[in-house]
Amino acid sequence: MGLLSLFLACTDPSESALALCSLSPGLYEDTEGRSLLADLLDTTPYEASAPTIGHDLAGGRGSLRGATCTLIARDGDRVSMERVQPSFDRIGTPGEAQTVQLEWTVREGLVDIGLVDALQQRTETQEAIREGDLPLFAGRWEALAASFPDPLLRVDHERAQRLLDEALYRRQLVPLPERVEEGAMIGSVENRGDRRVSSFKVQGEFEGVQQPVSVELGELEAGASIPFSLAIPPDSLGGYMLTVSACSF
């Protein structure tokens, strides 16, 4: 335990919490970051962690400078604070400052910020990603961002929600086949929803053909339609199914 930790252990626990609060620790710290935090919290859980998308996009620790913390209350070893911190959108661009509430426990000068539970939540989130369960993936990121309000986690949360919104909106894009012409299926796609789509794919699965065929299309306004032409594999047996994938706003 360093000299700073020994000093803080003999003082008001709120001093330790406030000192750490202004550093805005996230779910990842590199070797340098862990050395800076070692006098204030147990950094062992960080050793097996990996950067979040937000950490990489927003520039990591340097992007969190400027956070300010105010003590609200202290109840024994529980310290409640208010933090005004930077915010970032889903591509890491800085936005307006956000105010969050934090409640941490301080014992012997070390602050428990809920890191162990948060890392477990992140592991469950990664499992949802591997399983391809988008609603579960987005929901778990939201729960993690709410319980562990780090600005860089909000980037991952916003990206997860965007992926879910795009996946659900595909149901509003309806491919309508019209005719077969010169070895291609000709038709149109209707946008029956209320959002503009920047790009998407029409995919065709043809009977007797192992690999699907797809064509990428561009902008499609709400309530509008766009034509498509999808090549029919020469070995197709006639049956087919059309779906929309890779929708982006």
- What does DSSP assign to residue 227? E
Tell me the pLDDT band of 239, cut-offs 50, 70 and 90. Answer: very high
Task: Give pLDDT, residue 24.
Answer: 65
Query: 223: exposed, middle or buried (C-beta count within 10 Å: 0-12, 13-18, 19+)?
Result: exposed
Average pLDDT over residues 220-242: 95
**98-112, pLDDT tens digit by residue?**
999 999 999 988 999
Tell me the pLDDT band of 10, cut-offs 50, 70 and 90. Answer: low
CB atoms within 10 A of CB 183: 10
* Rounded Cα gap, residues 73 and 78, in angstroms: 8
User: At residue 8, does pLDDT exceed 50?
Assistant: no
Output the CA–CA distances (angstroms, integers) from residue 108 to 10, 86, 111, 183, in the order listed.
Answer: 8, 30, 8, 75
**59-111, pLDDT tens digit by residue?**
887 777 778 999 999 999 999 999 999 899 999 999 899 999 999 999 988 99
CATH no. for 171-248: 2.60.40.10
**109-155, pLDDT tens digit by residue?**
899 999 999 999 988 888 888 888 889 989 999 899 888 988 888 89
User: At residue 2, does pLDDT exceed 60?
Assistant: no
Average pLDDT, the chain: 90
**15-30, pLDDT tens digit by residue?**
999 999 888 677 888 8
Task: Give pLDDT, residue 11.
Answer: 66
**25-63, pLDDT tens digit by residue?**
778 888 888 898 999 999 999 988 888 898 888 888 777
Domain ranges of the chain: 1-113, 171-248
* Rounded Cα gap, residues 222 and 236, in angstroms: 33
User: At residue 3, does pLDDT exceed 70?
Assistant: no
